[in-house]
Amino acid sequence: MGPKRDDAHGSKSTASSSSASASNDAILAAVNKYGADLAKVSLQMDDMKKSMEGRLDTIEAHLSTLQNDHGQAQQRLDGLEEALSHTDVRITALETTCAELQVANGQLKAKINDLEGRSRRQNIRIVGIREGEEKANPTDFVARLIPELLGPANFSKPVKIDRAHRSLKPKPRDSEPPRTIIIKVHNDRDVPKILRLSRQQAPLHYQGRKVFIFPDYTADVSSQRQAFSNVRKKLIDAGAKCSLRFPAKLQVVYNSEVKCLPHLQMLNGLPPP
Protein backbone atom coordinates (compact mmCIF):
# COMPACT_ATOMS: atom_id res chain seq x y z
CA MET A 1 0.00 0.00 0.00
CA GLY A 2 2.92 2.32 0.70
CA PRO A 3 4.45 2.47 -2.76
CA LYS A 4 1.16 3.17 -4.43
CA ARG A 5 0.73 6.31 -2.35
CA ASP A 6 4.20 7.48 -3.30
CA ASP A 7 3.47 6.95 -6.98
CA ALA A 8 0.26 8.87 -6.75
CA HIS A 9 1.97 11.60 -4.91
CA GLY A 10 4.73 11.69 -7.54
CA SER A 11 2.22 11.81 -10.37
CA LYS A 12 0.53 14.76 -8.74
CA SER A 13 3.85 16.52 -8.24
CA THR A 14 4.82 15.91 -11.85
CA ALA A 15 1.46 17.19 -13.09
CA SER A 16 1.73 20.23 -10.87
CA SER A 17 5.25 20.89 -12.09
CA SER A 18 4.16 20.58 -15.72
CA SER A 19 1.25 22.91 -15.11
CA ALA A 20 3.51 25.51 -13.43
CA SER A 21 6.00 25.28 -16.28
CA ALA A 22 3.24 25.83 -18.83
CA SER A 23 1.95 28.78 -16.85
CA ASN A 24 5.45 30.29 -16.70
CA ASP A 25 5.86 29.83 -20.41
CA ALA A 26 2.55 31.57 -21.03
CA ILE A 27 3.61 34.37 -18.74
CA LEU A 28 6.95 34.65 -20.46
CA ALA A 29 5.26 34.64 -23.84
CA ALA A 30 2.84 37.32 -22.71
CA VAL A 31 5.67 39.34 -21.22
CA ASN A 32 7.67 39.01 -24.43
CA LYS A 33 4.63 40.02 -26.45
CA TYR A 34 3.93 43.03 -24.25
CA GLY A 35 7.63 43.85 -24.27
CA ALA A 36 7.55 43.94 -28.05
CA ASP A 37 4.42 46.07 -27.91
CA LEU A 38 6.07 48.32 -25.37
CA ALA A 39 9.12 48.59 -27.62
CA LYS A 40 6.86 49.60 -30.52
CA VAL A 41 5.08 52.09 -28.27
CA SER A 42 8.44 53.40 -27.12
CA LEU A 43 9.55 53.83 -30.73
CA GLN A 44 6.28 55.59 -31.52
CA MET A 45 6.75 57.80 -28.49
CA ASP A 46 10.28 58.62 -29.65
CA ASP A 47 8.96 59.48 -33.11
CA MET A 48 6.23 61.60 -31.61
CA LYS A 49 8.76 63.29 -29.35
CA LYS A 50 11.02 64.04 -32.30
CA SER A 51 8.03 65.31 -34.29
CA MET A 52 6.88 67.49 -31.41
CA GLU A 53 10.38 68.80 -30.89
CA GLY A 54 10.61 69.64 -34.58
CA ARG A 55 7.28 71.40 -34.51
CA LEU A 56 8.23 73.23 -31.33
CA ASP A 57 11.48 74.32 -32.95
CA THR A 58 9.49 75.61 -35.92
CA ILE A 59 7.06 77.43 -33.61
CA GLU A 60 9.94 78.93 -31.67
CA ALA A 61 11.52 80.11 -34.91
CA HIS A 62 8.23 81.67 -36.04
CA LEU A 63 7.75 83.19 -32.61
CA SER A 64 11.23 84.66 -32.72
CA THR A 65 10.48 86.12 -36.16
CA LEU A 66 7.20 87.53 -34.91
CA GLN A 67 8.95 89.05 -31.92
CA ASN A 68 11.49 90.69 -34.20
CA ASP A 69 8.72 91.95 -36.50
CA HIS A 70 6.79 93.23 -33.49
CA GLY A 71 9.87 95.03 -32.24
CA GLN A 72 10.42 96.65 -35.62
CA ALA A 73 6.73 97.58 -35.89
CA GLN A 74 6.86 99.09 -32.42
CA GLN A 75 9.91 101.13 -33.38
CA ARG A 76 8.15 102.33 -36.53
CA LEU A 77 5.02 103.15 -34.53
CA ASP A 78 7.07 105.13 -32.03
CA GLY A 79 8.69 106.97 -34.94
CA LEU A 80 5.30 107.67 -36.50
CA GLU A 81 3.91 108.95 -33.21
CA GLU A 82 6.89 111.26 -32.82
CA ALA A 83 6.56 112.47 -36.42
CA LEU A 84 2.80 112.94 -35.93
CA SER A 85 3.45 114.98 -32.82
CA HIS A 86 5.84 117.24 -34.74
CA THR A 87 3.31 117.43 -37.60
CA ASP A 88 0.56 118.50 -35.18
CA VAL A 89 2.78 121.27 -33.88
CA ARG A 90 3.58 122.42 -37.41
CA ILE A 91 -0.10 122.26 -38.48
CA THR A 92 -1.11 124.32 -35.46
CA ALA A 93 1.52 126.90 -36.32
CA LEU A 94 0.41 126.91 -39.97
CA GLU A 95 -3.26 127.32 -38.98
CA THR A 96 -2.34 130.28 -36.82
CA THR A 97 -0.30 131.80 -39.63
CA CYS A 98 -3.11 131.10 -42.13
CA ALA A 99 -5.65 132.86 -39.91
CA GLU A 100 -3.34 135.85 -39.61
CA LEU A 101 -2.78 135.88 -43.38
CA GLN A 102 -6.52 135.71 -44.01
CA VAL A 103 -7.04 138.79 -41.86
CA ALA A 104 -4.14 140.59 -43.54
CA ASN A 105 -5.39 139.51 -46.98
CA GLY A 106 -8.87 140.84 -46.23
CA GLN A 107 -7.39 144.16 -45.15
CA LEU A 108 -5.19 144.33 -48.26
CA LYS A 109 -8.13 143.47 -50.54
CA ALA A 110 -10.21 146.20 -48.93
CA LYS A 111 -7.36 148.67 -49.29
CA ILE A 112 -6.70 147.71 -52.93
CA ASN A 113 -10.43 147.94 -53.72
CA ASP A 114 -10.54 151.37 -52.08
CA LEU A 115 -7.48 152.56 -54.02
CA GLU A 116 -8.87 151.20 -57.27
CA GLY A 117 -12.19 152.87 -56.58
CA ARG A 118 -10.46 156.19 -55.88
CA SER A 119 -8.51 155.89 -59.12
CA ARG A 120 -11.84 155.56 -60.99
CA ARG A 121 -13.62 158.47 -59.33
CA GLN A 122 -13.28 160.61 -62.46
CA ASN A 123 -14.26 157.79 -64.82
CA ILE A 124 -17.63 157.22 -66.47
CA ARG A 125 -18.90 154.49 -68.77
CA ILE A 126 -21.02 155.05 -71.88
CA VAL A 127 -23.01 152.04 -73.13
CA GLY A 128 -24.80 151.72 -76.46
CA ILE A 129 -22.54 153.56 -78.94
CA ARG A 130 -21.98 151.55 -82.13
CA GLU A 131 -18.54 150.13 -82.75
CA GLY A 132 -16.40 152.43 -84.92
CA GLU A 133 -18.39 155.62 -84.27
CA GLU A 134 -15.38 157.12 -82.49
CA LYS A 135 -13.21 156.63 -85.62
CA ALA A 136 -9.52 156.96 -84.79
CA ASN A 137 -9.91 159.56 -82.02
CA PRO A 138 -12.22 158.40 -79.21
CA THR A 139 -11.19 161.25 -76.89
CA ASP A 140 -12.43 163.99 -79.24
CA PHE A 141 -15.51 161.93 -80.11
CA VAL A 142 -16.54 161.65 -76.45
CA ALA A 143 -15.84 165.36 -75.82
CA ARG A 144 -18.39 166.16 -78.58
CA LEU A 145 -20.78 163.35 -77.64
CA ILE A 146 -21.46 164.37 -74.03
CA PRO A 147 -22.85 167.86 -74.82
CA GLU A 148 -24.80 166.38 -77.73
CA LEU A 149 -26.45 163.78 -75.46
CA LEU A 150 -27.05 166.04 -72.44
CA GLY A 151 -27.58 169.39 -74.14
CA PRO A 152 -24.93 172.00 -75.02
CA ALA A 153 -26.70 174.58 -72.85
CA ASN A 154 -25.77 172.59 -69.75
CA PHE A 155 -22.05 173.09 -70.38
CA SER A 156 -20.66 176.62 -70.40
CA LYS A 157 -17.33 175.32 -71.70
CA PRO A 158 -16.24 172.14 -73.50
CA VAL A 159 -15.91 169.00 -71.44
CA LYS A 160 -12.23 168.13 -71.24
CA ILE A 161 -11.51 164.42 -71.57
CA ASP A 162 -8.12 163.01 -70.53
CA ARG A 163 -8.58 159.69 -72.31
CA ALA A 164 -11.25 157.38 -73.73
CA HIS A 165 -11.20 153.80 -74.97
CA ARG A 166 -13.40 150.77 -75.47
CA SER A 167 -13.45 148.05 -72.81
CA LEU A 168 -10.66 145.51 -73.23
CA LYS A 169 -12.73 142.72 -74.72
CA PRO A 170 -12.59 141.15 -78.18
CA LYS A 171 -14.36 143.20 -80.81
CA PRO A 172 -17.96 141.94 -81.02
CA ARG A 173 -19.71 140.70 -84.16
CA ASP A 174 -22.33 142.86 -85.85
CA SER A 175 -25.13 140.93 -84.08
CA GLU A 176 -23.56 141.43 -80.62
CA PRO A 177 -23.88 144.52 -78.41
CA PRO A 178 -21.05 147.07 -78.69
CA ARG A 179 -18.31 147.36 -76.12
CA THR A 180 -18.53 149.95 -73.36
CA ILE A 181 -16.60 153.21 -73.78
CA ILE A 182 -14.61 154.09 -70.65
CA ILE A 183 -13.81 157.79 -70.20
CA LYS A 184 -11.65 159.70 -67.75
CA VAL A 185 -12.99 163.24 -67.29
CA HIS A 186 -10.37 165.88 -66.52
CA ASN A 187 -12.49 168.08 -64.25
CA ASP A 188 -13.82 166.12 -61.26
CA ARG A 189 -16.80 168.52 -60.98
CA ASP A 190 -18.00 167.47 -64.42
CA VAL A 191 -18.45 163.81 -63.37
CA PRO A 192 -21.38 164.24 -60.93
CA LYS A 193 -22.91 166.78 -63.31
CA ILE A 194 -22.81 164.36 -66.24
CA LEU A 195 -24.26 161.51 -64.11
CA ARG A 196 -27.00 163.77 -62.72
CA LEU A 197 -28.03 165.03 -66.17
CA SER A 198 -28.04 161.49 -67.58
CA ARG A 199 -30.46 160.40 -64.83
CA GLN A 200 -32.70 163.43 -65.28
CA GLN A 201 -32.85 163.16 -69.07
CA ALA A 202 -33.09 159.37 -69.33
CA PRO A 203 -33.62 157.70 -71.69
CA LEU A 204 -30.80 159.11 -73.83
CA HIS A 205 -30.56 158.39 -77.58
CA TYR A 206 -27.81 158.61 -80.16
CA GLN A 207 -28.53 157.88 -83.82
CA GLY A 208 -31.71 156.04 -82.89
CA ARG A 209 -30.12 153.83 -80.24
CA LYS A 210 -30.53 154.03 -76.48
CA VAL A 211 -27.43 155.20 -74.65
CA PHE A 212 -26.68 154.83 -70.94
CA ILE A 213 -24.09 156.59 -68.78
CA PHE A 214 -22.88 154.94 -65.57
CA PRO A 215 -20.15 155.50 -62.99
CA ASP A 216 -17.04 153.37 -63.45
CA TYR A 217 -17.05 151.14 -60.37
CA THR A 218 -14.69 148.28 -59.53
CA ALA A 219 -15.83 144.72 -60.22
CA ASP A 220 -16.31 144.09 -56.50
CA VAL A 221 -18.45 147.18 -55.96
CA SER A 222 -20.43 146.51 -59.14
CA SER A 223 -21.27 142.96 -58.01
CA GLN A 224 -22.36 144.24 -54.59
CA ARG A 225 -24.59 146.91 -56.11
CA GLN A 226 -26.03 144.49 -58.65
CA ALA A 227 -27.03 142.18 -55.80
CA PHE A 228 -29.73 144.69 -54.83
CA SER A 229 -31.53 144.36 -58.16
CA ASN A 230 -34.31 142.01 -57.01
CA VAL A 231 -34.82 143.90 -53.74
CA ARG A 232 -35.00 147.26 -55.49
CA LYS A 233 -37.60 145.95 -57.93
CA LYS A 234 -39.79 144.66 -55.09
CA LEU A 235 -39.46 147.94 -53.17
CA ILE A 236 -40.27 150.04 -56.24
CA ASP A 237 -43.30 147.84 -56.97
CA ALA A 238 -44.38 148.48 -53.37
CA GLY A 239 -44.24 152.26 -53.95
CA ALA A 240 -40.86 153.06 -52.37
CA LYS A 241 -38.13 155.21 -53.93
CA CYS A 242 -34.73 153.54 -54.01
CA SER A 243 -31.22 154.69 -54.73
CA LEU A 244 -27.75 153.28 -54.17
CA ARG A 245 -25.11 155.10 -52.18
CA PHE A 246 -21.44 154.37 -52.62
CA PRO A 247 -20.10 151.79 -52.33
CA ALA A 248 -23.17 149.55 -52.01
CA LYS A 249 -25.80 150.85 -49.61
CA LEU A 250 -29.45 150.88 -50.47
CA GLN A 251 -31.28 154.07 -49.59
CA VAL A 252 -35.05 153.70 -49.35
CA VAL A 253 -37.59 156.53 -49.13
CA TYR A 254 -41.07 155.43 -48.05
CA ASN A 255 -43.79 157.59 -46.51
CA SER A 256 -41.30 160.49 -46.29
CA GLU A 257 -38.99 158.33 -44.16
CA VAL A 258 -35.43 157.71 -45.35
CA LYS A 259 -33.49 154.63 -44.39
CA CYS A 260 -30.12 153.30 -45.48
CA LEU A 261 -30.14 149.52 -45.33
CA PRO A 262 -26.91 147.79 -46.38
CA HIS A 263 -28.01 144.53 -44.77
CA LEU A 264 -30.81 144.13 -47.35
CA GLN A 265 -28.20 142.60 -49.64
CA MET A 266 -28.45 139.47 -47.49
CA LEU A 267 -31.92 138.93 -48.96
CA ASN A 268 -30.16 137.91 -52.18
CA GLY A 269 -27.97 135.39 -50.36
CA LEU A 270 -24.90 137.64 -50.20
CA PRO A 271 -23.08 139.12 -47.20
CA PRO A 272 -23.46 142.84 -46.59
CA PRO A 273 -20.80 145.04 -48.25
Q: What is the pLDDT of residue 270?
A: 39
Residue 46 belongs to a domain: yes
Asked whether residue 30 is assigned to any structural domain, the reply reads: yes
Q: Computed from CA positions of residues 18, 24, 28, 33, in that sequence, does the dihedral angle turn out positive or negative?
A: positive
List the chain residues with pLDDT less than 70: 1-22, 261-273
| Dihedral over Cα of 226, 231, 233, 239: its sign | negative
Residue 1 domain-assigned?
Answer: no
Task: Note the Cα 8 to chain centre separation in Å.
Answer: 122
Residue 2 lies in a domain: no
Residue-level pLDDT at 241? 84
The 10s digit of each residue's pLDDT in 40-51 is 877 888 788 888
**Is residue 7 situated within a structural domain?**
no
What's the whole-model pTM score?
Answer: 0.59
- Statement to judge: residues 185 and 223 lie in one domain: no
One domain, residues 243 and 263: yes
Regarding whether 171 and 83 lie in a shared domain, the answer is no
Name the domain boundary from 64, 91, 118: 118
Within a domain: 223: yes
The pLDDT of residue 180 is: 94
Q: Tell which of 55, 88, 118 closes a domain.
A: 118
| Whether residue 212 is found in the same domain as residue 130 | yes
Angle at CA of residue 155, ends 152 and 161, nearest 5°: 100
Q: What is the CATH number of the domain that holds 247?
A: 3.30.250.20
Could you tell me if residue 180 is inside a domain?
yes
Omega of the bond leading into 271 within 30 degrees of 0 (cis): no
CATH of the domain at 129: 3.30.70.1820
87, 118, 149: which is the final residue of a domain? 118
* Residues 194, 240 share a domain: no
Per-residue confidence (pLDDT) for residue 146, from 0 to 100: 94
Q: What is the DSSP string of 54-122?
A: HHHHHHHHHHHHHHHHHHHHHHHHHHHHHHHHHHHHHHHHHHHHHHHHHHHHHHHHHHHHHHHHHHTTT
**Under 8 Å between Cβ of 248 and 268:** no
Q: How far is CA 27 from CA 23, 42, 101, 200, in A?
A: 6, 21, 105, 142
113 with 129, same domain? no
pLDDT at 62: 87
Instruction: Identify whether the C-beta of residue 159 lies closer than 8 Å to the C-beta of residue 190.
Output: yes
Q: Are 204 and 268 part of one and the same domain? A: no
Same domain, 229 and 239: yes
202: domain range?
121-216
In total, how many domains does the chain have?
A: 3
- What pLDDT does 88 receive? 92
Residue 265's pLDDT is what?
A: 43
Residues 88, 151, single domain; the answer is: no
Domain annotation covers residue 103: yes
Say yes or no: 244 and 257 in one domain: yes
In the prediction, which pLDDT does 225 show? 84
Q: Are residues 135 and 40 in the same domain?
A: no
Co-location of 92 and 70 in the same domain: yes
> In a 3-state reduction of DSSP, which class is residue 134?
coil
| Whole-number pLDDT of residue 61 | 87
DSSP state of 261: -
- First-to-last alpha carbon distance for the chain, in angstroms, is 154
